[in-house]
A and B are shown apart, each in its own frame.
Chain A
């Protein structure tokens, strides 16, 4: 757990979303504090994406309350959108635009001045080591680089919180490792990271995790605490316990 009383930046209370009779997210309650790396785990269809969409202002909750960066999800979704960054499992980058054009596009969308965009582009490209492909279309660069670039673009406007929806899908372990280093660095700089994943080993990297099963929050806490609580050696085992409670 975090030792300091860092401010709460995401708060959800009994947040619920139904689609017809199907309850996708069922009364989930949690808090995320500034600077945390908060892992949001669950099997496919457990309700992770629905929850993240409600928090990002893409989807209205059916009931319950939530606030993100101090803004209410019902009434202030526009304010939320300015304060968050978002990267989905699919890319938010345009394949046929060059690296530089993508950065400029998103810079413009988030209201950065042309000078600021140039400055950020230079820094970002240097940090990722993409100098030689900055004028190449994004489709021509390797997947791992694209993902790092997409992450950096999501951070372009220096959001208070960044939502990553399965950011490491389909990349090799080394790139995943590098990606997590970027996540740590981001959190260290004060940005809260809300990340969904179904790689259980990645869960171990998070400050705190929550595990969703069938729309409910089945468990929440620091990875080591959860392992101790369930008497198992890894989050993978915790997850199996929760997902199949009738077994063993």
Chain B
């Protein structure tokens, strides 16, 4: 036990004294949140809006005025028929369209549900979803104001997404970011720090000492587990304070699932370092093996459902994919373990497999 504490303290010295590591560990999560936070807000100003109003009327004009009045939208076309829309969307001249039903005003006046379509270009899912929710909220405001004035109106907006109908719900960058940061801190840092000891020869000294293999692994892994945990808290706090990203479900459950994912990443880091002899190779291995797939394939940015079948299979065996899914469900849908147990089981099984593999790979060098 004392030997283990000594190892942990030693790892602490390494982390504290290596500027580069410190910078990566501390600045990376903070910067990422800001970067992605603002990237997600990419211009929901000046949305190019087309309006299709087959029968202009007091009611439709009132609503149109509201769209024209905000600086979120810029009306680029006012049409009587919906046919030219396709061309406008394809050319990119319009990003969003409000299509009133011909009988909109009529039904509104009679207290019947009045239909209006919101058509959104969702090529970029994040922007698409933001544009859509802006338009929707404007219509809801209008409806509420009318009701407050005493009329029993009902507007039935119908949402349409063009180009990317299976869009993942979007401003969900934080769950993905959690996965990315954890993957980097856990896999990359463990892989590098183990590879460094192999490179400098100190690993040999540890292996030839009475330390058990598990002690060496624990000594390597626990400091990064702790740092990963703190980063999760930091990212959640920053995302909440700066971007008001909610955690609707249980924070405890989220942290527990986070620990599962950290374990998977750490095991992957050990696995990578077992197969590489230098820090450089370990770094490349960890980047290619964890960071890239986490960014590209986990559903962090690109929705898994719209990937080619083969990539979906690959995504399916990535712990990050499952963690992103779990984290999104907890944070945004607020669901609990009752709904998430299948995903949690998959993640736990992956952790077991990876831990077993990494323990074995570490053992091979000792045999």
Indicate, yes or no, whether A interacts with B.
yes
Q: Which of B181-208 contact A (CB under 8 A)?
A: 200-202, 204-208
Considering the complex, give the chain B residue whose CB is closest to the CB of A117. Answer: B6
Q: How far is the CB of A185 from chain B (nearest CB, A)?
A: 22
Residue of A84, A88, A101, A104 touching B201 (CB-CB under 8 A):
A88
Residue of B10, B204, B207, B211 touching A90 (CB-CB under 8 A):
B204
Contact A109–B17 (Cβ < 8 Å)? no
Contact B2–A88 (Cβ < 8 Å)? no
Q: Which residues of B contact A57 (CB under 8 A)?
A: 208
Q: Which residues of A contact B204 (CB under 8 A)?
A: 58, 86, 88, 90, 92
Chain B interface residue number, banded: 20 to 34
Residue of A78, A82, A105 touching B10 (CB-CB under 8 A):
A105
Task: Report the separation of the CA atoms of residues A59 and B7 in the bound assembly, to the nearest whole angstrom.
Answer: 23
Task: Report the separation of the CA atoms of residues A244 and B223 in the bound assembly, to the nearest whole angstrom.
Answer: 53
Q: Which residues of A contact B206 (CB under 8 A)?
A: 109
Contact B201–A90 (Cβ < 8 Å)? yes
A-contact bits for B336-367, CB 8 A (1 contact / 0 none):
00000000000000000000000000000011
Considering the complex, give the chain B residue whose CB is closest to the CB of A104. Answer: B6
Q: How far is the CB of B192 from chain A (nearest CB, A)?
A: 14
Q: Which residues of B contact A110 (CB under 8 A)?
A: 3, 209-210
Q: How far is the CB of A87 from chain B (nearest CB, A)?
A: 8
Q: How far is the CB of A191 from chain B (nearest CB, A)?
A: 16
Q: Which of B261-293 contact A (CB under 8 A)?
A: none
A-contact bits for B114-141, CB 8 A (1 contact / 0 none):
0000000000000000000000000000
Q: Which residues of B contact A92 (CB under 8 A)?
A: 201-202, 204-205
Q: How far is the CB of B35 from chain A (nearest CB, A)?
A: 30
Contact B6–A109 (Cβ < 8 Å)? yes
Q: Which of A34-69 contact B (CB under 8 A)?
A: 56-60
Task: Report the separation of the CA atoms of residues A92 and B366 in the bound assembly, to the nearest whole angstrom.
Answer: 17
Contact A97–B13 (Cβ < 8 Å)? yes
Residue A108 at the chain B interface, CB threshold 8 Å? yes
Residue of A81, A101, A137 touching B209 (CB-CB under 8 A):
A81
- Check A95/B200 contact, CB under 8 A, given A78-B210, A81-B208, A109-B206: yes
Q: Which of B309-350 contact A (CB under 8 A)?
A: none
A and B contact pairs by CB, cutoff 8 A, 5 listed:
A60-B367, A84-B208, A86-B205, A88-B205, A105-B6
Which A residues have a C-beta under 8 Å from some C-beta of B?
Answer: 56-60, 78, 81-82, 84, 86-97, 101, 104-111, 137
